[in-house]
Amino acid sequence: MSAMSSDRPVFDQALDAVLPILHDMKKSLRATPVANRAALDQLFSLPDSFLKKDPASPLVPVAPVAATAPVVATAPSPASKAAAAGDDGRLAKLAELKTKIIACTRCPHLVKSRTQVVYGVGNPFSELLFVGEAPGEEEDLRGEPFVGKAGQLLTKIIGAMDYTREEIFIANVLKCRPDMPAGEAGNRKPKPSEMATCLPWLREQIDLIRPKVIVALGLTAVEGLLGEPRTMREVRGKWLDYHGVPLMPTYHPAYLLRNQTMAEKRKVWEDMLLVLEKLGRPISSKQRGYFLEKGA
C-alpha cells in the first residue's frame, strides 16, 4: 500500500472494492472481519490526509487491536492525532526503517528459524517506550511483542498507569525469536552477541520516536541496552541513561508471574510511579496506594 498522495484515487478505488466484500463477510459469517496487526500498522503509517474519509463512509481509522480481537470503529489513535497535529516526517522515516528491519538478515541462524521479525508496536509519537528482551514463540507467530501471559500483565500495568497499550510503544532489544536446539520447545534468552547485532535497529527506532522515558523490562533487556551485565539489585528502581533518555530498569512481567507476591508487584509499581513522576503525569491517591491496600 503506497503512501504517496498521487496514489489517493487508487487508494479510494481499493477501498471501494474492499468494503462491499467486508460487508458480505460480516453478513455471511455473522461476525466482524478481523484485520491483522501488519495491515493495521500499514494503515497507521499512512499520512493523515489518507484517513480523512467522507463522514458517511463506514471506514474510519481504528485503534490497533490484538490480532484475534474483532475490529471495531473507534476514535482516531494517538498516533493519527499526533500526526494530524504536525507530522515531523517521522512516520515516513519509521515506515522506511520498518521496511529495512523486517527484511533484516544479519543473523542467518535466526532468519532460518523465525516466522517473522517482530518490529515493535504502538504510538510512534509515544513519550514512553517499554523494551523487552526478545520475542517468544507466541510473539514470533503473531508478529507483536508481549502478547502472551506476560504481555497481558504488561497491558494491565500500562492501564494502571492510565495509559492504553496503543498510546505507548513496545519493542524488544532482539527482534527475532532466539532459535531453539532441535527438538526443544520453549524460549531461550538472547545471547549478548545477538543483542549487540540487533541493537542498532532499536537505537534507530528510539532516535525517531524520541521517547521521554524508556522502561527496560528485565535484566536481559538492561544488559542488551547497556552492553554489559548488571544485577537487578544494582539497577532496579534507579534512573540510568540510554543515549540521553532516562532509563528505568524493572522486573520483567514474566518474573512477576512466577513470583506473585504483593512485595514484588509493589516494587514494579514503585518503579512505574517514578516513571509517571518523570513524565509529569498526574498520580491519584488510588494509584499511589496500589498493591498496598488489600485487593488492589
Site residues (vs ligand SF4, CB under 6 A): 101, 104-107, 110-111, 117, 174-176, 197-198, 201
CB environment 80-99: b (16+ within 10 A), e (fewer): bebbeeebeebbeebbebbe
Please, which residue, 147 or 274, has the CB nearer to ligand SF4? Answer: 147
Q: How far is the CB of 147 from ligand SF4 (least distance, A)?
A: 18
User: Looking at the DSSP assignment, which residues form a beta bridge with residue 241?
Assistant: 246
Whichever of 110 and 121 has its CB closer to ligand SF4, that residue is 110
Its sign, for the CA torsion 173, 150, 218, 109, is negative
Residue 43 Cβ vs ligand SF4, minimum distance, rounded to whole Å: 23
At closest approach, how far in Å is the CB of 137 from ligand SF4?
15
Q: How far is the CB of 139 from ligand SF4 (least distance, A)?
A: 13
Residue 28 identity (one-letter amino acid): S
Residues 246, 286: Cα–Cα separation, whole Å: 26
Q: Which CB, 157 or 202, lies closer to ligand SF4?
A: 202
Nearest Cα residue to 227 out of 188, 193, 190: 193
In whole angstroms, how close is the CB of 5 to ligand SF4 at the nearest point?
Answer: 31
CB of 201 to ligand SF4, least distance (A): 6
Looking up cell 542498532 gives: 200
Using DSSP bridges, classify how beta strands 169-172 and 121-122 pair: parallel, antiparallel or unpaired. Answer: antiparallel
* Number of Cα atoms under 13 Å in the Cβ half of residue 60: 11
Minimum gap (Å) between residue 200 Cβ and ligand SF4? 8
Residue number with CB closer to ligand SF4 (175 or 265):
175
For 105, which DSSP code? -
Pick from 173, 171, 170, 193: nearest CA to 133: 173
Return the sign of the alpha-carbon dihedral for residues 231, 134, 153, 237. Answer: positive
Instruction: Give me the helices (H) in 115-242, please.
Output: 137-142, 149-160, 192-209, 219-226, 232-235
**Cβ closest to ligand SF4, residue 176 vs residue 275:** 176
Q: Which is nearer to ligand SF4, 38 or 296 (CB)?
A: 38
Nearest to 224 by CA among 133, 139, 121, 119: 133
- Residue with Cβ nearer ligand SF4 (78 or 218): 218
CB closer to ligand SF4, 111 vs 257: 111
Report, in Å, the least distance between residue 29 CB and ligand SF4.
Answer: 36
